[in-house]
Structure 1
Amino acid sequence: MTVIAGILLFASFFFLLLFGAPIAIAIIVSSILTFFLILPFDVAILTSAQRMVTGIDNFTMLAIPLFVLSGIIMNNGGIAFRLVNFAKVLVGKLPGSLAHTNVVGNMLFGSISGSSVASAAAMGRIMTPMQTNQGYKKTYSAAVNIASAPTGLLIPPSSILIVYSLVSGGTSVAALFMAGYIPGILWGLAVMVVAYFMAKKEGYPVSKLPTIKDVLYIVASAVPSLLLIIIVIGGIVAGIFTATEGAAVAVIYATVLSMIYKSIKIKDVPAILKETIEITGMILFLITASALFSLVMSYIGLPEALSRALLSITDHQVGIILIMLAILLVIGTFMDITPAVLIFTPIFLPISQTFGIDPVHFGMIVCFALCIGNMTPPVGSALFVGCSVADVRIEHVIKTLLPYFAVVIIVLLLVAFIPQISLFLPNLFGV
C-alpha cells in the first residue's frame, strides 16, 4: 500500500504541476486523492481540513508576515542606496569594484528584505546602469547580481529558516539564524572571487574612492539600517524576545526609520499592506498545503520507506548526503524554496538523524541547496528578475553564470561536510 499510495501522491502532484496548476493546489489535490485511497471519503475530508488549519496554528508563524512587512517597508524606504554606498566603501579598491559592491549590497539588502527577488531587483536597478556607464558588459553585471541575490535567504533574518524550524519539529530559530551567517557570507565571497578574476581579465576599472569626510557620512547614513539586523538578531539570540517578537520590533524599527528618512508617505501604506498580504497569503497557503502533504506522507509511511531505500543504496554518511544534495539541487531547479523545504524536510530529516547530523546543520544543507535554484533555469526567480532589470536574455547570461554555479556548489559541499561552518556561531553564542 505504501508504494501504491506514494506513486499516486507524487504522480498526481507532478501531473498537476505539468499542466500548470498552482503548486499549493497541486499539493492539496494530490494529498486528498491519496487519502481517498486509504481512508473513507468523510474521514479523508475531515482529516484534511483539520490538518490544514492546525498546520498554521503556531505562534512562531506570526514572525513570517511581520518579517515580510518589515522587509517591504525597508524596500520602500530608500535603504538600498545607502547600503550600496556603504558597500562601495568596503570594496571600492578591488578590480571590478562595482560588481563587488553589487555582491555586498545583495548580502546586506537581502538580509534586510529577506527576498532574493527584491534584492536582485533593487540592486540590479541601481548597479546595472552604473556598471554599463563604466564599460561593464551587461551579461557580467547581470550574472554577478543573480549569483549573489540568494545570499539574503541565508543571512538572517530569514523567513525560510523560520519555515524550516516549524517543519523540522521546532529547531531553534535563534540557532538557525546564527548558523546562516557563515554559509551566506561564504556564498558571497565565492561570487566575489569569480567576479574578481573576470574583472581582471576584462580590465574593468576600480571606482574612485570617496574622501574621508564622504566615508564618514556614508557610514553614518548606513548605520541606522544595519542596526535593524543587530537589534533583531541580537535580541533573539540574547533571549530578550522570541523570533515573533523580534519580527514585530523589526516592523516598528523599519517604520520609524522610514518616517525619519521621510521616504514613505501615508498614501503608500495601503500598497505596502496589500503587498504584505499577498506575499503572506501565498506563503501561508503553501505552508498549510504542505502540512497536509506531510501528514499524508507520514500516514502511508513514506519517509521510512524512502529512508530504507536510500540506506539500501549506501549506508555511508558521505554517500547519503551526496544523494540528498543531488535530489535537492534538481528539485530546486523547478520548485520554489518554500514548498520544497516543507515537502522534503520531513522526508530527509529522519534519514539525517540516523547518521547523527545536527538539525541546525541539516537545515543549512537543505536551505543552501534549494537556494541555488533561485539562480538556475527553468524557474529561478532571481535569474528572471536579474535578467529583466539588466535587459539581457537568459540564454546570454547562462554561460557567464556557469563559473558562479561551480563555486557556489563547492561552498555547498563545504557546508555539507564541515558541520562547524554552520554550528560554530550557534555553539559560540550558546543557542
Structure 2
Amino acid sequence: MIGAMFAVFAALLVLGVPIIFTLGISSTVYLLSMPHVLSVLPQRLVTPFDSFSFVAVPLFILAGEIMNTGGITQRLINLARVMVGWLRGGLAYVNVVVSMLFGGVQGLATADVAAIGSVLIPAMKKSGYEAGFSTALTVASATIGAIIPPSLLIIIFAMATRLSIGRLFLAGIVPGILIGVMQMALVFMYGRWRALGPPFPPGERISTGQAVLYLRQGAPTMLLPIIILGGIGLGVFTATESAGIAVVYAAFLALVTREMRLSDIPGVLFRAAKLTGSVMLILGTASIFAWILTVERIPHQLGSLLLGLSSNIYVILLLLNLALLVIGTFMDATPAAIILGPVMVPILVDLGMDPIHVGIFMCFNLILGHTTPPVGTCLYIASGISGLRIERIAVAMIPFLVVNFITLMIITYFPGIVLFLPNLLSG
C-alpha cells in the first residue's frame, strides 16, 4: 500500500490540490489497509499537539500579529534607513536589513514579503529602481526570516525531530546574518556593474533629528529578539516560555505607542487563530504521513540508498541538498520539514553530523522553495504587490538564487558557523 500512497500523493500534488488534503488523502489510502484505522487515524492526527513545545506556535503567531498591527513595519524600515539608507542604492540595502530585523520579531517569510513588500516595492520603483530587481530582492531577502529566530519553521522542525528549540534558535542567528550579508554583497555588485542593470539612485540624506527619532521609535521593537535570545542563552527561560513573554511585550509596546487600539484586539486574535488553525491542520496530516514512512522503514532504506551512492559525506550532503531543493519547489516548507526532518536527521547523525546543524541547513534549503515556481508562495505575494508577472520575477530572481545556493553550501559545509553560538551559550 505504500506504493499506492506515494502514487496518490504525487498525483494530487501535480493536480495542485492543497497540501493539507494531499497529505490527508494519501495517508488515508495507506491507513485503510490497517485493521484498526479508526483508532490509529485520530491518535496520529493529534500527536504533534501533545507537547509543551507546541504552545510556542500559536503564541509566536499571536505576537507577530500584534506587532504587525502595532506599526512594526514602518518603524523597522525607518531604523534600517538610519543604518544603511545613506549608501548609494540605500533602499536596496534597507530592503535586506529590514528583513533581518523583521525576521527577529516575526519569523514568517510570507509575512515578510507582504508587510515589507507593500511598502518598499512601490518606494523603490518610485525612486528609480528596476521593478524586477526590487521585487526579486524583496522575495529573496524574505528567506532570512525563516532562519533568524523566532522562526516558525524552526519551531515546527524542532517539534518534528524532538530537537531543542532554544539551541536551534541560537544556531540560526549567525547563518541568518550571513544570508543577509551575502545578499547585500550582490546588491553592491548590482550598484557597481552596469551590465547587471541601471545605475542605483544616490542614498537618502537623513537629518540628525530624524535619525534620533527613528532610533528612538525602533529601539523598543528590537528589544524583543534581544529579550528572547538573551533569556534563552542565559537559561532564564525556555524557548516555549519566551513565546509568552513575546506576546506580553508586543501587546505592551503596541498599546503604549497607541498604534493598536483595544478595538483591534478581536481582529488580531481572529487572524492569529486562523493562521494557527492552518498550521495545526498541516502539522496533523503531515505527522500521519511521517509516521507511515517510519513504520515502512523508509529512513533506513533511504540511508542505505545514500550510502550506496557514495560513502563521502560531502557528496552525500550535496546530493541531499539538491534533492531538497527539488522537493521544496513542489511542496511547502512546513509539511516538508515535518515529513523529511525525522527521516533525514537520524541518517545524518549516524554519519557523524550534529542534528542542530542539519536542522538549520535543511530549513534554509526548504524555504528557498518559497522563492521558486511552481509553489513559490512568496513569488505570488510579491507579484500581487508589484503587478509583475511571475515569469518576469522568476528571471530576476536568478542571481539571488545563485547567491542563496552559495550561502546554503557555506552553511552546509562549515558547521562551525551554525554551532558557534549554541555551543558558546548553551554548551
Counterpart of 2:140 in structure 1 is 147
Structure 1 equivalent of residue 255 of structure 2 = 259
Give the aligned partner of residue 422 of structure 2: 426
Structure 2 Cα separation of the partners of residues 277 and 186 of structure 1? 33
Moved over 3 A (4+): none
Match of residue 102, structure 2, among 104, 109, 126: 109
| Mapping for residues 338-353 of structure 1, pairs under 5 Å | 338-353=334-349
Who is 1:274 aligned against? 270
Checking the alignment, whether the CA contact within 8 Å between 1:179 and 1:426 is kept in structure 2 is yes
Q: Percent identity?
A: 37
Looking at structure 2, the residues matched to 384 and 147 of structure 1 have their Cα atoms a distance apart, in angstroms, of: 13
Which letter does structure 1 place at the counterpart of 2:332?
Answer: D
The residue type paired with residue 324 of structure 2 is L
Aligned 1:155-174 pairs, distance under 5 A: 155-169=148-162, 171-174=163-166
Q: Is 2:96 aligned against 1:100?
A: no
Any conservation in 2 of the 1:332–1:371 contact (CA below 8 Å)?
yes
Match of residue 323 from structure 2: 327
- Cross-structure match for 2:352: 356
1:361-384: CA deviations, max 9, x gaps?
000111010011111111111111
What letter corresponds to residue 13 of structure 1 in structure 2? F
Instruction: Pick which of 155-164 and 395-404 moved more.
Output: 395-404
- Taking structure 2 as the reference length, the TM-score comes to 0.96
Equivalent pairs counted in the alignment come to: 423
- Listed one character per residue, the Cα deviations across residues 115-152 of structure 1 (whole Å, up to 9, x for unaligned) are 11111122112112322222111111111111101101
Residue from 19, 25, 49 that aligns with 2:21: 25
Cα shift at 1:237: 2.0
For each residue in 1:222-263, what CA deviation from the matched residue of structure 2 results, as whole angstroms up to 9, or x when unmatched? Answer: 110000111112112222222221101101111110101111
Partner AA of 1:15 in structure 2 = A
Secondary structure of the residue aligned to 2:49 is coil
Alignment counterpart, residue 48 of structure 1, candidates 29, 41, 44: 41
Q: Please report how far the alpha carbon of residue 398 of structure 1 lies from its aligned counterpart in structure 2 after TM superposition.
A: 2.1
The aligned counterpart of 2:84 is 91
1:24-423 to 2 correspondences below 5 Å: 24-37=20-33, 39-40=34-35, 43-169=36-162, 171-200=163-192, 201=194, 202-423=198-419
Gapped runs of 5+ residues in structure 2?
none
Select 2:2's aligned residue among 2, 6, 15.
6
Distance 1:189 1:93 in 2: 17
1:176 maps to a residue whose letter is L
RMSD over aligned CA atoms reads 1.4
Query: What is the rounded CA distance, in whole Å, between the counterparts of 2:306 and 2:129 in structure 1?
Result: 47
How far does residue 70 in structure 1 lie from its aligned partner after superposition? 0.3
Task: Assess if the C-alpha contact under 8 Å between 1:94 and 1:196 holds in 2.
Answer: no
Q: CA deviation at 1:206?
A: 2.4
Q: Which amino acid aligns with 1:113?
A: Q
Deviation at 1:209, TM superposition (A): 2.4
Q: CA deviation at 1:55?
A: 2.5
The answer to whether the 8 A contact 2:99-2:142 is kept is: yes
189-198 vs 279-288, which moves further = 189-198
TM-score of the two chains, using structure 1 as the length reference: 0.95
1:287–1:342: 8 Å Cα contact kept in structure 2? yes
CA offset digits 1:336-377 (Å, max 9, x no partner)? 111000011122112101211101000011101001111111
The letter for the 1-side match of 2:90 is S
Q: Which moved more, 1:360-369 or 1:309-318?
A: 309-318
